[in-house]
Each structure stands twice: as structure tokens, then as C-alpha cells.
Amino acid sequence: MASLAVAEANRLLDASLGTAGHVAPTPPMTLALITAAGDGVTPGTEVVGGSYERQPVTFGAASAGEASNSTPVVFAGMPAVTVVGVEVYDSADPPRRCWHGPLTAQRTVQNGDAVQFAVGQIVATIT
């Protein structure tokens, strides 16, 4: 996962440069699976169907400019779909998209399968 959503990047820039205070995302963070990539402004197309729903994701403390998931994330009962990326949202109403990015390799999922991410597989980086 390589990119901050533009709105989130602007919030962090403003806070780090002293032009505005940063409003932290509302926990818990959730992970969404994407079938068509979005960009910094527009969300991608989220998986629908089966038993799919966004799953909680917990990140460890950042080190060397990156942070990764500290617990496994499992999406059970998936519909037949090809997953190309992920997006991280907070739990505000409406949810705030914070991060987005492609998978290193697309995952083709059969009806009823699970998509799993082991500890350390979801990495957010700022350089």
C-alpha cells in the first residue's frame, strides 16, 4: 500500500508545517478490498457480495518511515472476484479514506474463498 489519500496528505502536511492542527482518524481502522484501482482523490471500486465486509486492521508503531499490520486480516466468504488493491478507512461517519494502494500481485478469488493478509503484509510508507 503505497499512497496517502490526497485529503489525508494535506492534513498531515498542514499539521507538520504548523498551518493547522491534525485531526486524527477515528479508530478502529478498517481494510477494504478493491477490484478497480482509484487514485489519491477518488476511491477504487470496493468488493460487493458474498459475506464481504471491511475488516478491522491494526498497525504497529512506525519505524524508518513505515508501519505494517500487527495482526492478521481475514476476509471470509468472498464472492468470485479479482482483488487488485486495498484501502484503509477510519470508523468515522462517514468513513475517512486514509490510504490506498495496489497489491503486489492481483488475487483471483473463487466464491466462498477467503482473502488473508499475514502480519506485516500491509505496509504504509512515507518517504
Q: What is the pLDDT of residues 3-38, one digit of tens each?
A: 889 999 999 999 999 999 888 999 999 999 999 999
CB < 8 Å & 24+ apart, contacts of 13-16: none
Residue 101 has pLDDT above 70, yes or no: yes
- Mean pLDDT, the chain, rounded, equals 95
Q: How far apart are CA 47 and CA 44, in angstroms?
A: 10
Give the integer Cα–Cα distance in Å for 113 and 118: 16
Burial of 115 (0-12, 13-18, 19+ CB in 10 A): buried
- The pTM assigned to this predicted structure is 0.92
For the chain, the structural domain boundaries read 3-125
| Span 45-58, pLDDT tens digits | 999 999 999 999 99
The Cα–Cα gap between 20 and 80 comes to 44
